[in-house]
Amino acid sequence: MVGEMTPKRRHLTALQGGKTDRPSVIVLSNFVLELMDATGVDWPACQVEPEALAKLQAGRYEVCGLDSLLCHNDLVSETSTIGGEDIIDIGKKDRQPSVTKHVWAGKDPDDCSIPDDALDRGRNPLLQQTLDILSSNYGDTVSITKMITGPMTVAGHLWGVEPLLEMSKTNPDKFIQSIDLVTDLLIDIARDAIDNHGADSVYMPDPTASGDLLSPAAFDQYLNPIYRRFTRAIKDVPSYLHICGDTTGFLMYAPYSGFDAFSYESPGCYTIDAKRALGDRMALIGSLETVRVIMLGSPELIEKEALQDLRDGADILCPACGTPPYTPLENIKALVDAAKPKEKKKKKKRPKKEIVAEFMPEDAKLRELTEVVMDGDSATSEKLTVSLLDEGYKPLDIVENALLPGAIAVAKLYDGGYVFVPEILLSSGAMQAGIKHCKDAMGDVAKKGKILMHVADGDVHEIGKNIVATILEAKGYEVADLGKSVPVDKVIEGIKKEKPDVVSGTSLMTSTRNAFPKISEQMKKEGIELPFVVAGGSVDTTFAETMEFAIYADGPEVGDEIIKAAKGGKGWKEIRKDVHSSY
């Protein structure tokens, strides 16, 4: 168990794929109107004055609780070190700065050079002062990240994006020369920030390197060697790369860029796809859609999407791209809250005698049978059951008042840590030994309801499911059992075929529980509104509440309650509220 970390340690550790106390949370841009109000700064001061810019950036941590502070938000400052501030449109209160002139348009890269005093030109001194303020005030606690616009984007500002893209096809050598020249400047800026101004990490957004503009082959052939040169020059600090658009085709090449982490933009690229392609070779930063979720969504949607990203493999939670200016601050805070561990109510451990006493029938002969079931003695259970039937005991009374209580009592003792799986299996066998005689004596009895059961795709642990299925059958329910490691589409097919009152799935391994949200989504698409019971060691109420239809059950008696409620006309929302509030 990792102890509580400072935001700085958490973020730097997460960037390098290490274990953290909780997921790190950042935003790529915080040029947000509500944050300006909250920090008491205004435009244009927050773009041109180091104190105001630092105050706005500090709001990432002070107001929102994020783990990293950036020196600025714009993509043009690096270009200003060559073209000066005259070529920069400072923007508006709700619009970022932009470049108004391509100062090297039409020029051969042989005729272009980086000024010797580039670090003292344009907006760079402003950013140096901002970093000084942030590192002095927060450097021990919060990660201080130097943002550096990527070489493809800076080259696009200098020569023009279209000419640059054409050059990549008509004259690849000149294209490489152009971005190589720009990279010299970016390395100087990065090293200065690290060596002299307190930066402990580097973030490189390179939107012009988008998968919508470059082919995967071009990315690997042209940009990866440039990125590697850059990352080798700053290898003493962790770094991450962000590329806009559909980067799915880039995923196989991204680890060879040299960056520690990769930020990708959804819906162009989803976390689950990035995780499948990258595995643990790069930390994943992402990726909540900026407009639909971050700006227009509710805090509840933010939490749902964030938890899904974490389940899919994200290491650091972050909007998919720059945060829109009109984003509500409560949504950024909701992103941070989603990463915090949820406190679970600790159940008071009940004494063993109290648990046993709860399930003991008053009738002495029934009590003897219950004790035998708890002991897991199948032969004696069968003998006593036959004897009770011969004496005139009703088979249903024997099941409900002796056999079932014995098995459920052992399940409760297991929850309390008094017995283990072998005891559960033996008691279940003893219960079944008696039930088979009671079933024969009862003949055909109308079923009280129907449940469709399965174990999640990829999970083969079905002991718990089988025990609960046996208990529910003994209670008079029809059980349609799909078995273990059942694919999502097979579950949906089973629902349509069996027409159950309730669906259930169990998952022991955390890596397999991701099947449940997919089942929930597919149920919604198919118009299937049934309670979906989720159980097993990898799930809990918090997990269940991230998806529709899902209700967490911590024992067979809860499944009984849910089926009864569903048969009684209650919807899944009402049932979930009742069940989860009882824990």
Give the pLDDT confidence score for residue 266 in this predicted structure: 87
Lowest mean pLDDT among 113-117, 374-378, 539-543: 539-543
Give the Cβ contact number of residue 419 at 10 Å. Answer: 20
Contact present, 306 and 317 (Cβ < 8 Å): yes
Give the pLDDT confidence score for residue 568 in this predicted structure: 94
Amino acid at 59: G
Whether residues 349 and 259 share a domain: the answer is: no
Give the pLDDT confidence score for residue 511 in this predicted structure: 65
pLDDT band of 326, cuts 50, 70, 90: very high
Mean pLDDT of 88-115: 94
Quick check: 425 pLDDT over 90? Answer: no
The two three-digit tokens of residue 316, written as one number: 């650091």
Quick check: 437 pLDDT over 90? Answer: yes
Amino acid at 281: R
Task: Give the tens place of pLDDT for each residue, 36-68.
Answer: 999 999 999 999 999 999 999 999 999 999 999
Distance CA 409, CA 570 (A): 28
Distance CA 275, CA 446 (A): 49
Quick check: 181 pLDDT over 80? Answer: yes
Chain-wide mean pLDDT for the chain?
A: 93
- In which element (H, E) is residue 506 found? strand 502-506
Spacing of C-alpha 353 from chain mean position: 42
Whether residues 326 and 435 share a domain: the answer is: no
Per DSSP, the three-state class of 532 is strand
Contact present, 466 and 431 (Cβ < 8 Å): no
Give the pLDDT confidence score for residue 509 in this predicted structure: 72
- CA proximity to 29, closest of 265, 281, 272, 308: 265
- CA proximity to 309, closest of 274, 342, 281, 271: 271
Give the pLDDT confidence score for residue 537 in this predicted structure: 78
- CA proximity to 160, closest of 79, 224, 72, 91: 79
Give the pLDDT confidence score for residue 556 in this predicted structure: 81
Q: Is residue 312 situated within a structural domain?
A: yes
Task: Give the tens place of pLDDT for each residue, 271-316.
Answer: 998 999 999 999 999 899 998 899 999 999 999 999 999 999 999 9
Distance CA 361, CA 71 (A): 71
For residue 405, what is the domain's CATH number?
1.10.1240.10
In the 3-class helix/strand/coil scheme, how is 276-343 assigned residue by residue?
A: HHHCCCCEEECCECHHHHHHCCCHHHHHHHHHHHHHHCCCEECECCCCCCCCCHHHHHHHHHHHCCCC
Distance CA 189, CA 276 (A): 34
Mean pLDDT of 98-107: 95
Give the pLDDT confidence score for residue 462 in this predicted structure: 85
Whether residues 256 and 392 share a domain: the answer is: no
Quick check: 345 pLDDT over 60? Answer: no
Give the pLDDT confidence score for residue 31 in this predicted structure: 85
Give the pLDDT confidence score for residue 319 in this predicted structure: 95
Q: Is residue 535 situated within a structural domain?
A: yes
Q: Is residue 493 situated within a structural domain?
A: yes
- CA proximity to 413, closest of 462, 374, 446: 374
Give the pLDDT confidence score for residue 386 in this predicted structure: 96
pLDDT band of 344, cuts 50, 70, 90: low
Give the pLDDT confidence score for residue 417 in this predicted structure: 83
Helices and strands in the chain: count of H runs, count of E runs: 26, 15
Whether residues 388 and 426 share a domain: the answer is: yes
Q: What are the φ/ψ torsions at residue 470 (nearest 5 degrees)?
A: -65, -45
Quick check: 2 pLDDT over 70? Answer: no
Whether residues 123 and 218 share a domain: the answer is: yes
Which residues on adjacent β-strands are paired with residue 99? 88
Whether residues 314 and 362 share a domain: the answer is: no
Whether residues 332 and 352 share a domain: the answer is: no
Give the pLDDT confidence score for residue 582 in this predicted structure: 87
Give the pLDDT confidence score for residue 405 in this predicted structure: 93
Q: Which residue has the higher pLDDT, 441 or 194?
A: 194
Total domains in the chain come to 3
Give the pLDDT confidence score for residue 510 in this predicted structure: 66
Whether residues 225 and 358 share a domain: the answer is: no
Distance CA 64, CA 24 (A): 13
- In which element (H, E) is residue 145 found? strand 143-147
The two three-digit tokens of residue 226, written as one number: 């440039």
Lowest mean pLDDT among 278-287, 298-307, 459-468, 482-491: 459-468
Domain end among 420, 445, 470: 445
Q: Where are the beta strands (DSSP E) in 400-464?
A: 450-455
Per DSSP, the three-state class of 556 is helix
Q: Is residue 119 situated within a structural domain?
A: yes
- In which element (H, E) is residue 472 found? helix 463-474
Whether residues 324 and 388 share a domain: the answer is: no
Give the pLDDT confidence score for residue 79 in this predicted structure: 97
Q: Is residue 1 situated within a structural domain?
A: no
Q: Which domain holds residue 371?
A: 344-445
- In which element (H, E) is residue 364 found? helix 364-375
Peptide bond into 172 cis (omega under 30): no
Q: Is the pTM of this model over 0.85?
A: no
For the chain, the residue count is: 583
Whether residues 243 and 275 share a domain: the answer is: yes
Domain end among 339, 365, 388: 339
pLDDT band of 317, cuts 50, 70, 90: very high
Contact present, 165 and 96 (Cβ < 8 Å): no
Distance CA 281, CA 261 (A): 9
Whether residues 400 and 259 share a domain: the answer is: no
Whether residues 303 and 240 share a domain: the answer is: yes
Quick check: 141 pLDDT over 60? Answer: yes
